[in-house]
Amino acid sequence: MSASSTRVTLTVRLFDGSEHLITARASDTVGHLHQIIATQLALLKPTISCEGEVLTAPAFSTLVSTLPSCELRAWSMRYSRYAVEEEERRKHVRARADSTARSAPILLRDVPRLIIAAIPVVRDAANQVPLGSWLRLALWLMLSITASYAELLGPWLIATATYLVWRFGFSDREAGEESAYTVFNRGLRALPGQLRAEDVQRDMLMGVGGAM
């Protein structure tokens, strides 16, 4: 390819298999050729390669006559309508990101004020918790840390959950109200009229004794 002002015909192949003939002057730069391909093929910001090498911005100042081949490959969004919609979507995303970045300092300035306002509420709530509950919580945290170092945190959490279920059950009960499950009652007390294994065994023994 001679470096002259004569016109050169280039074959541009797209990834969808179509081929297009582009005419340019041999003295045109690769950057100008990039604009010609984008305009004639209705491609938004196309990427062009020649002999497997992508023609990036540093190569835009070179002449078309210096290209090693007249066969090029180009790819981008094939249809300009979809390309414009995608570009608009990206602009919208960037605008939202900029708006969030501008509002972040305002939110950060409000954080100390919110913390100061919440201190009395947290202090009053903490004062209503008995000291024994805080001590039990501290003991549980220490045991949890110890179990974590011993790689027994999983069994420790399972044991904690089992104790809480046994201690409090799954439902809210008033003081003195017993659960339908004897395992949740103090002393494993059964409800009046509840059939237990001991009752069945006693009835069976009494039946056998009466038959004898």
- Whether 28 has a pLDDT exceeding 80, the answer reads yes
Amino acid at 35: Q
In a domain, 177, yes or no: no
CA atoms in the 13 A half-sphere facing the CB of 27: 3
Q: How far apart are CA 165 and CA 159, in angstroms?
A: 10
| Per-residue pLDDT tens digits for 29-68 | 888 888 888 888 877 778 888 888 888 888 888 888 888 8
**Which residues span the domain enclosing 59?**
7-78
Same domain, 98 and 62: no
The total of structural domains in the chain comes to 2
State the pairing for strand pair 47-50/19-25: unpaired
Per-residue confidence (pLDDT) for residue 79, from 0 to 100: 45
Residues 24 and 74 in one domain: yes
Q: Mean pLDDT across the chain, nearest whole number?
A: 76
Same domain, 37 and 85: no
- Taking residue 37's Cβ as centre, other Cβ atoms within 10 Å add up to 21
Contact yes or no for 33/24 (Cβ under 8 A): yes
Tell me, yes or no, whether 27 and 71 share the same domain.
yes
Q: What is the pTM of this model?
A: 0.34
Specify whether 116 is located in the same domain as 95: yes
Does 110 reside within a domain?
A: yes
Contacts within 8 Å (CB) and 24+ apart, 19-22: 22/72
In a domain, 163, yes or no: no
Residue 190 lies in a domain: no
Does 121 fall in a domain?
Answer: yes
